Amino acid sequence: MDIEGVRMVRDYVQETTGLKLKEEQLKMFSRKLAERISELGFETPFTYYLAVKHRYKNTELVNLIDKMKISETYFFREEEQLAVLKERVLPEIAQRAGARPIRIWSAGCSTGEEAYTLAILCRELKRERPEFPDLKVTIIASDINEIALDSARIGKYSHWAIRHLPSRFVGTYVSTKNGGFEVAPELREMIKFVPINLNDVASWETRRDFRFDVVFCRNVLMYFADRRVPEVIRGFYRVLEKDGYLFTASTESLIRHTTIFKLMKVMNAFVYTKRET
């Protein structure tokens, strides 16, 4: 295969999306690229590169990313953080928000497991806490991969995806259907799935509807090139309301990139809060 053409496609993917392909991922990338080139009938990686960059940028880049299947996701991932959200963060925000809806962003939501998990937690908080009878929550879930978003909107999952979902929620928020599982309509109604390229910070931080009390961006920044991470973090800072919260994966530390957020230990997990400057 044309090595230079492969390099040009790889560099374009990294530049456009902010993704960082590790050395061990390059062989996989070359293999998946070859499969995609064959499927579409292009002669060389270079002709594919020209098509992706100039003719099919908004569609084919998504198809290539989807083919790579970089990350795994599932319901109720990192339960210690979810407990902090439900027991501490949401009640605190609800008290100061008054009648306005609480706004949560699941950034890099992939096929929607995290977003639906957040919706379940919000509904459970309202059910368990009589002091919040009128709790309203809006969840925005975004990803660059529109194929993944289409799957998220449908809301159908395998047993593997719900393996950490507490059994008491099966039948309430998730029902069995055709050998799989489907989320309840009331969860889908809480979530708006939108295509967003996190690497293109200017395209989302200036959106009038992008102001949030809580941002979840877990197991996403680890795939970004180091030089792009600080700008994405600053974008999160700008779209968060005063005293807002940012959740990243327990393995993702922001400290080496920026200190604009304050790291706090709450219960058994760490969470970032928006510093006032």
What does the domain layout of the chain look like in residue ranges? 3-68, 79-274
Q: Which residue has the higher pLDDT, 5 or 262?
A: 262
pLDDT value at 277 more than 70: no
Helix (H, G, I), strand (E, B) or coil at 138: strand
Q: Token pair of 197, please? A: 């390229």
Distance CA 173, CA 215 (A): 23
The count of other CB atoms within 10 Å of the CB of residue 43 is 9
pTM above 0.75, yes or no: yes
HSE (side-chain half, CA atoms, 13 Å) at 194? 16
Judge: domain 79-274, CATH 3.40.50.150: yes
Question: CB-based burial of residue 223 (10 Å sphere; 0-12 exposed, 13-18 middle, 19+ buried)?
Answer: middle
Helix (H, G, I), strand (E, B) or coil at 250: coil
pLDDT of residue 164: 95
Q: State residue 102 phi and psi, 5-degree precision.
A: -80, 135
Tell me: the pLDDT tens digits for 53-84?
A: 877 766 787 778 777 766 678 999 999 999 99
Percentage of residues of the chain with pLDDT beyond 70: 95
Mean pLDDT value of segment 17-27: 74
Of residues 33 and 218, which shows the higher confidence score?
Answer: 218
Query: 10-24, 67-81, 241-255: lowest mean pLDDT where?
Result: 10-24
pLDDT tens digits, one per residue of 252-272: 888 888 899 999 999 999 999
The sign of the dihedral angle between the CA atoms of 56, 59, 62, 63 is negative
Predicted pLDDT of residue 275: 74
pLDDT at 37 over 90: no
At 1 the pLDDT is 61
pLDDT tens column, 139-197: 999 998 888 999 999 999 999 999 999 999 999 999 998 889 999 999 999 999 999 99
* The predicted structure's pLDDT at residue 226: 87
